[in-house]
Structure 1
Amino acid sequence: MARPNAGTKGVPRLDRETQILSIASEQFATYGFAGTSVGTVADLAGISKPLIYNYFGSKEGLYEACLVRGGTLVADEIERIARGEAVGIQRGIDTLAGMFTLLEGQRHLWRLFFDSTAPTEGPIAASIAVYTDRIGALAEEGVAELMTLVGNDDELDVSAMTSVWLGIVDSLMNWWVEHPEQTADEMRQRCVRLLTALLDGGSR
Structure 2
Amino acid sequence: MATPRSKAGTKGVPRHLRRQQMLEAATEEFGSRGYATASLAAVAERVGVTKTLLHQHFGTKEDLYVACVTPVGDGLLDAIRTAVGEEGATPDTPLRVLRGIFVALEGRREAWFVLYDRSLPPGGAGARTAASYWAAVDTLAADGTAALLRAAGSDDPLDADALRHVWTDLVGTLVRWWVKHPEETPEAMTWRCARLFTVAAALAVDPAPPN
Counterpart contact for 1:78–1:98, Cα < 8 Å = yes
TM value normalised by structure 2: 0.88
Structure 1 residue aligned with 2:69: 67
Counterpart contact for 2:88–2:144, Cα < 8 Å = no
Structure 2 residue aligned with 1:27: 29
Inter-partner Cα distance in structure 2 for 1:14 and 1:156: 49
Q: Which runs of 5+ in 2 are unaligned?
A: 1-9, 206-211
Structure 2 residue aligned with 1:96: 98
Give the 3-state SS of the residue equivalent to 2:91 in structure 1.
helix
Aligned length: 197
Structure 1 residue aligned with 2:3: none
The amino acid that maps onto 1:133 is A
Structure 1 residue aligned with 2:208: none
Offset at residue 159 of structure 1 (A): 0.9
The amino acid that maps onto 1:88 is T
Structure 1 residue aligned with 2:209: none
Structure 1 residue aligned with 2:119: 117
Offset at residue 69 of structure 1 (A): 1.5
Structure 2 residue aligned with 1:5: none
Structure 1 residue aligned with 2:13: 11
Structure 1 residue aligned with 2:82: 80
Offset at residue 88 of structure 1 (A): 2.9
Inter-partner Cα distance in structure 2 for 1:69 and 1:202: 38
The amino acid that maps onto 1:123 is A
Give the 3-state SS of the residue equivalent to 1:107 in structure 2.
coil
The amino acid that maps onto 1:188 is T
Structure 2 residue aligned with 1:4: none
The amino acid that maps onto 1:177 is V
**Could you tell me the percent identity over the aligned residues?**
38
The amino acid that maps onto 2:194 is V
The amino acid that maps onto 1:44 is R
Deviations 1:118-171 (A, max 9, x none): 111121111011111111111111101100011111112111110000000000
Deviations 1:92-134 (A, max 9, x none): 1000011111211111111112222211112111101111111
Offset at residue 85 of structure 1 (A): 3.7
Ranges of 4+ aligned residues in structure 1 off by more than 4 Å: none
Counterpart contact for 2:89–2:148, Cα < 8 Å = yes
Q: Does 1:51 align with 2:48?
A: no
Inter-partner Cα distance in structure 2 for 1:87 and 1:79: 11
Q: Which runs of 5+ in 1 are unaligned?
A: 1-7
Structure 2 residue aligned with 1:3: none
2:134 aligned residue (120, 123, 132): 132
TM value normalised by structure 1: 0.91
Structure 2 residue aligned with 1:180: 182
Structure 2 residue aligned with 1:142: 144
RMSD: 1.6
Report the CA distance shift for 1:109/1:117 in structure 2 as closer, same or farther (over 3 A). Answer: same
- Between structures 1 and 2, the one with greater helix share: 1
Counterpart contact for 2:142–2:161, Cα < 8 Å = yes
Inter-partner Cα distance in structure 2 for 1:88 and 1:198: 18
